[in-house]
Structure 1
Amino acid sequence: MATYYKHPTALVETEDVGEGTRIWALTHVMGGVHIGAHCNIGSHCFIEAGVWIGDRVTVKNGNMIWEGITIEDDAFIGPQVVFTNDRRPRSPRFPGARARYETKSWLVPTRIGRGASIGAGAVILAGCDVGPFALVGAGAVVTHPVPAYAVVFGNPARHQGWVCECGDKLQPHGSKWRCPSCARVYEQIGDELRALS
């Protein structure tokens, strides 16, 4: 007996779905996918074999998540985010490209870090990892890796500030960064941020 909810119109071919997860209408999850516990997978999604989704992840409606994508615990994927996994795609059925697709050498994995949030309609290019608790704005085109706690938006996405684990924008606090909502303090080292409290 399943320990997760599957809408009657969802097609779930994997047996690797965690307890308490909910998979909504007209979503197709292929075999070979891992979905953790207490996730919410919205309507009209397609999740290809080879995807790994952690615990407590929210995937909103209309997402296509391709092989090689890893989404860590507590991440949020807004509606209609576009992921890619091949930097130079061709039809595998085209005779001139067939040899390239006989191995997985074309596959470029991408990791969405723990607690990261990807806004609606963002495009994440192959290999552009998004660090833990980073925030990618709606419609952003991510062409480079995004550091932990960074706020990026635009086309191409550019660093626009820092965000706390709780989701609020960080404010300068002497030589550190501080959250006005939860009072967490962070230290900037070069182009990266790390939590101190």
Structure 2
Amino acid sequence: MGYFQHPSAIVDDGAQIGPGSRVWHFVHVCAGAQIGKDVSLGQGVFVGNKAVIGDQCKVQNNVSIYDNVTLEEGVFCGPSMVFTNVHNPRSLIARPHEYRDTRIQRGATLGANCTIVCGVTIGQFAFVGAGAVVTRDVADFALVAGVPARQMGWMSAHGDRLDLPLQGSAQAVCPQTGEIYHLEDGCVHREAAP
């Protein structure tokens, strides 16, 4: 098996789970799910048939990873955060053919109780604040918060706030790693520490 599964968890036949992963209390992983190595699925997590979870992701308690949601490597999903899969759901109208792809790119953090509306892409190492409602794409390294989510600043890959304006040209140094970040044309790029 190569991964830990709590006795209360249900992993349907056919699910792919990488070595070193941990499937905790009352988790349900559907048959078509693809889960990488060293992933942690906290209590009460649900993973759908068409969900993809990359290596070293941490999904905290009570999160549902629905069909058409992809988490790239190293994504953090805070407790009780929410994904949607249909833009305009109705209980009386079945819309599985309208599921929209949602992609959370490498290293992004999704804060507790935030909502990610289907069809958006969250950029690499972006940081979504607790309780935010994300209705549109988020740039790499962007810090967003609020309802609806608005950009508040920039974050380093290490998880520290960068002293950069929202627009213009500037550079900042991550206080923890010494990596240099350049802001140009509304995009932040990272270079290795000197």
Please tell me the TM-score bracket, short chain as reference. Answer: over 0.9
Q: Structure 2: which 5+ residue stretches go unaligned?
A: none
Query: 1:159-184 CA distances to partner (integer Å, 9 max, x unpaired)?
Result: 01111111111124983122122111
- The residue that corresponds to 1:165 in the other structure is 157
Where in structure 1 do 4 or more consecutive aligned residues deviate above 4 Å?
none
* Rounded Cα–Cα distance in structure 1 between residues aligned with 2:164 and 2:32: 45
TM-score, normalised by the number of residues in structure 2: 0.92
* Rounded Cα–Cα distance in structure 1 between residues aligned with 2:136 and 2:164: 25
* Rounded Cα–Cα distance in structure 1 between residues aligned with 2:3 and 2:187: 38
Question: 1:8 corresponds to which letter in structure 2?
Answer: P
Question: 1:5 corresponds to which letter in structure 2?
Answer: F
- The residue that corresponds to 2:189 in the other structure is 194
1:109 aligns with 2:104: no
Query: 1:13-59 CA distances to partner (integer Å, 9 max, x unpaired)?
Result: 14310000000010101110000000110001111110000000000
- The residue that corresponds to 2:11 in the other structure is 12
8 Å CA contact retained: 1:41, 1:58:
yes
- The residue that corresponds to 2:70 in the other structure is 70
Q: Structure 1: which 5+ residue stretches go unaligned?
A: none
8 Å CA contact retained: 1:130, 1:148:
yes
1:138 aligns with 2:130: yes
TM-score, normalised by the number of residues in structure 1: 0.91
8 Å CA contact retained: 2:44, 2:62:
yes
Question: 1:177 corresponds to which letter in structure 2?
Answer: A
Query: 1:105-137 CA distances to partner (integer Å, 9 max, x unpaired)?
Result: x01010011000000000000112110100000
